[in-house]
Each structure stands twice: as C-alpha cells, then as structure tokens.
C-alpha cells in the first residue's frame, strides 16, 4: 500500500506566509488582538495543528505575542522582529521592495568594512591563506554563478577570521535567500573588474593592515551595491 505524503509542513508554510503578509502589511496593527485560533483555522481552511505550527514560527520571529491562554496579539515587527523577518520582507513579492533591498546592501557595506578590519587584526596565517585562495578563485571564476558562490565563501572566511560570532551568524541567516534569489543580488556582475579588489583585500588582511583592509572592503562593497542599482 502506497504511503500518503505528509502535507502538514507545506500547509503550515502556506499559513505562515498568509499571516506573515497580513502582519507586515499592517492588517493586524501592533497591539491588536488576532482572531481566536479556531476561528483563524476555519477562515484559512486548515487544521489546528498546521495553524499552531505557523503561529509558533511567528512567535519565534517576534511578530506575535501569545498570552492569557491562547490569546494572540500583534507586535510591532520593526521593534520586535528577528532577522528572519528580513528574508520575508525581501522575497514576499515577485519584485523586492527597493527600499528594503537598498537597506540590506547599505548595511552590507558597513558590515563588510568592519569584518575586514577585524580580520586584518585577528587572522592567523592559515585563515589568511584561505582568504587569498578564495580571492584567486574569484578572479578565475568562469561565470557569474561561480563568482557568486565564491564571493559568499570569501566573505564567510573573512567573518571567520574576524572571530565575531554575531557577524558570522548574520551571514548564516541570509545564506539561503542569497542563493535562492541570487538574481536580486548581482553584486558580482562583471566580476573580472572587481577581482583585483578581492586580491588586494586578501593581501591587506594577510599583512595585518587594518585601515587598508577596511577601506578596500568599503570600496568593494559600495561598487557591488552600485551593480544592484539601489
């Protein structure tokens, strides 16, 4: 007898997407009580189990607060939301919000600059050598897809050399959307033109030149931002 596929995770994801969109769009204003769980499940045409899985995710993301039994209240996602919210803000529509994308790339410029400075101050010989290898690999990348993968690997290695777990976890958290929607981040377009900057940055990190590394990383990140056009 053929087994019946478990569709619960798919349904829970669909419910999550629906409720998330309502919260981000302001359908449930901060401080407003959401409908009762049974009423919400009936409205969405899903089981209580699927609904509760979605609500648990929303609570973990900081978008709702559950209190007084099963009563649910919307929070202000700008004040309470976790980093996961950023992914949904970016990909919630076919076309990303230019402001959100611009904010992400602006923050990326500052983050990569500080990562480079910390890496130059803290990288050991082995880590610096790995960064140099990746810089050379990007210069030799045969296409944009390979360059995108190498770019992320390069800056992940820089983050490891920086020895700052917060920056590393931020990179980990955006990894999936970065690769799933790579077309939104054409930061390595014409990567051959940018390749010398990766090599120079790797050299500055290996030499322990903190301010030089910060400056190169800033220029590189800003040029990459220009390629996205936001």
Same domain membership, residue 166 and residue 211: yes
Q: How many domains is the chain built from?
A: 2
CATH number for position 32 = 1.10.10.10
Asked whether residue 218 is assigned to any structural domain, the reply reads yes
Residue 124 is predicted with a pLDDT of 93
State residue 74 phi and psi, 5-degree precision.
-75, 140
Residue 53 is predicted with a pLDDT of 92
Average pLDDT on 8-32 reads: 86
Average pLDDT on 91-113 reads: 80
Same domain membership, residue 164 and residue 57: no
Same domain membership, residue 219 and residue 138: yes
**230 — pLDDT class (breaks 50, 70, 90):** low
Look at residues 28, 51, 79 and tell me which one is the last residue of a structural domain.
79
Average pLDDT on 103-128 reads: 94
Average pLDDT on 206-220 reads: 97
For residue 72, give every residue at least 6 positions away whose Cβ sits within 8 Å of its Cβ, in sequence order, or none: 33, 34, 37, 55, 64, 65, 66
**C-alpha distances in angstroms, 213 versus 117, 199, 227?**
6, 11, 21
Same domain membership, residue 19 and residue 110: no
The proportion of the chain whose per-residue pLDDT surpasses 90, expressed as a percent, equals 48
Residue 78 is predicted with a pLDDT of 86
CA dihedral over 142, 147, 149, 153, signed as positive or negative: positive
What is the span of the domain harbouring residue 118? Answer: 85-228
Does residue 105 carry a pLDDT above 90? no
């Amino acid at each position: 007898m053929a087994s019946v596929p478990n569709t619960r995770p798919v349904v829970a994801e669909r419910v999550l997407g629906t409720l998330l969109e309502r919260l981000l769009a302001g359908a449930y204003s901060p401080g407003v009580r959401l409908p009762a769980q049974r009423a919400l499940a009936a409205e969405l045409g899903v089981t209580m189990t699927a609904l509760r899985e979605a609500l648990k995710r929303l609570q973990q993301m900081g978008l709702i607060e559950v209190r007084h039994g099963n009563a649910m209240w919307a929070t202000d996602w700008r004040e309470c939301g976790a980093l996961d919210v950023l992914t949904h803000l970016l990909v919630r529509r076919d076309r990303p919000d230019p402001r959100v994308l611009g904010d992400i790339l602006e923050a990326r410029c500052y983050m990569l600059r500080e990562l480079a400075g910390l890496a130059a101050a803290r990288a050991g010989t082995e880590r610096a050598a790995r960064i140099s290898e990746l810089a050379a690999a990007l210069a030799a990348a045969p296409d944009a897809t390979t360059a995108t993968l190498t770019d992320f690997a390069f800056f992940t290695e820089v983050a490891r050399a920086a020895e700052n777990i917060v920056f590393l976890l931020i990179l980990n958290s955006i990894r999936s959307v970065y690769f799933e929607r790579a077309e939104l981040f054409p930061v390595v377009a014409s990567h051959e033109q940018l390749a010398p900057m990766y090599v120079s940055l790797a050299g500055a990190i290996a030499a322990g030149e903190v301010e030089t590394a910060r400056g190169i990383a800033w220029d590189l990140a800003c040029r990459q931002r220009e390629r996205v056009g936001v």
